[in-house]
Amino acid sequence: MNVDLHSHSIASDGLLTSEEVAARAQAGGVDVWALTDHDEVKGLPAARAAAEALGMRFVNGVEISVTWRPDPAHKGTTIHMVGLQIDPANPTLLAGLRQIRSGRDDRAARMALDLEIAGVRGALEGAKKFAVNPELLSRTHFARFLVEAGKARNTHQVFGQFLTEGKPGYVPHQWATLEDAMFWIQAAGGIPVVAHPGRYKLSAPQLAQFFDEFKDLGGAAIEVMTGSHTTDQYNHFAEIARCYGFMASRGSDYHGPGESRVEPGQLPALPADLTPVWHDWY
C-alpha cells in the first residue's frame, strides 16, 4: 500500500487546489492520502471528495505550528506537529487553529518591515498576492514574492538569504505550545505525529528531551520518510522510532510543482520492522 500522509494545498502554502493535489497523489500511485495544511482544515472536504472520486482512501490531516519551550529563559524552537485522523469539525481544534492563524497578520507586517529595512520594498502586498487564503500568510508566500522581485532564483534559495534566523525578514513568533497542539489533536480524535524531526535546529540531547516530552504527552508517532529528510536521516529516525517505540509515518510534504523535491507517493517505503502509523486503520 502506497501511503502519503503529508501535503499542502492553496488553503495554506501549497501551489495547487485540493483537487489538483489529489490528482498528483493518484498519478504518484498513492492509495492512502492525507492533506495536512498548516494551521488550517478548510481544504479537507474538497480533498476527501476528490480523493474518493479517484479511488484513493483519504485521511483528514493538519500541520500545527508549535513553539517548543516558549519560556523566557529559552529561545523557543518552531516545531511542526501533524495531526492525522482528526475530526475537522471539532470545536476545540477549530478554536486552537483560529487562534494560531490570527497571529500571522501581525507577524507578516513585522516581517515586511524588517525586509524594508534591508531594502526590499512592498513585501507585504507582494506576499499577499500569492496567498489564496488571507488567513494564512506564510513565509512561503514571502519567498515567492522575493523570487518574483529577483532577490533569489527559487524559493528554496530564498531561505538561505532571507526569512530565517539572523537574516532579513525573520521575526521571532510564538505559535501554539506543545501541550496545546497535542491536546487539540487528541481532543479531535486524532494522532499527533512529529513532522520532519530532522529539520529542527536542536542538539541531540535537546531533541531527546523533546521526544521525552512528546511521549509524556501521549505522543506515539514520528515521520521517518519525509521529503525533508536525507537518506541518512531516514535511517537515523527509523532508529529513533525503534528506540522510543514510536510508530512511523511517511509523507512527501508536497507543496506543488517546482517547489518540492519529492512528488506524492515517491518516497521509499518504511523499513519493514517499523509499525506504520496507519497499521490499525483498515
Quote the strand ranges of the chain, DSSP E.
Answer: 3-4, 32-35, 57-68, 77-84, 191-194, 221-226, 247-251
Q: Note whether 151 binds ligand AMP by CB under 6 A.
A: no
Strand pairing partners for 82?
A: 63, 193
Q: Which residues between 192 and 251 bind Mn ion (CB under 5 A)?
A: 195
C-alpha cell read off for 182? 497535542
The one of ligand AMP, Mn ion, none whose footprint includes residue 159, by CB under 5 to 8 A per kind, is ligand AMP
Q: Note whether 80 binds Mn ion by CB under 5 A.
A: yes
Shortest Å, Cβ 251 to Mn ion: 8
- Give dist(CA 13, CA 35) in Å, integer: 12
- Give dist(CA 278, CA 147) in Å, integer: 38
Q: Note whether 255 binds ligand AMP by CB under 6 A.
A: yes
Shortest Å, Cβ 272 to ligand AMP: 30
The one of Mn ion, ligand AMP, none whose footprint includes residue 139, by CB under 5 to 8 A per kind, is ligand AMP
- Give dist(CA 121, CA 208) in Å, integer: 42
How many other CB atoms are there within 10 angstroms of residue 95's CB atom? Answer: 10
The one of ligand AMP, Mn ion, none whose footprint includes residue 24, by CB under 5 to 8 A per kind, is none
How many other CB atoms are there within 10 angstroms of residue 148's CB atom? Answer: 12
Q: Which residues between 108 and 147 bind ligand AMP (CB under 6 A)?
A: 138-140
Count interface residues toward ligand AMP (CB under 6 A).
10
CB-CB contact of 198 with 228 (8 Å) = yes
Q: Considering beta carbons, is residue 14 or 28 the nearer one to ligand AMP?
A: 14
Q: Note whether 65 binds ligand AMP by CB under 6 A.
A: yes
Question: What interhelical angle do 18-27 and 44-53 show, nearest 10?
Answer: 40
Binding-residue pattern over the window 212 to 251 for ligand AMP, x denoting contact by CB under 6 A: ----------------------------------------
Q: Considering beta carbons, is residue 13 or 114 the nearer one to ligand AMP?
A: 13
Selected from 3, 4, 13, 223, the binder of ligand AMP by CB under 6 A is 13
Distance from the Cα of residue 76 to its chain's centroid:
18
Q: Which residues between 27 and 56 bind ligand AMP (CB under 6 A)?
A: 38
Side chain identity, residue 157: Q
Residues of the shown chain interacting with ligand AMP in the complex, contacts defined by CB under 6 A: 13, 38, 65, 138-140, 155-156, 159, 255
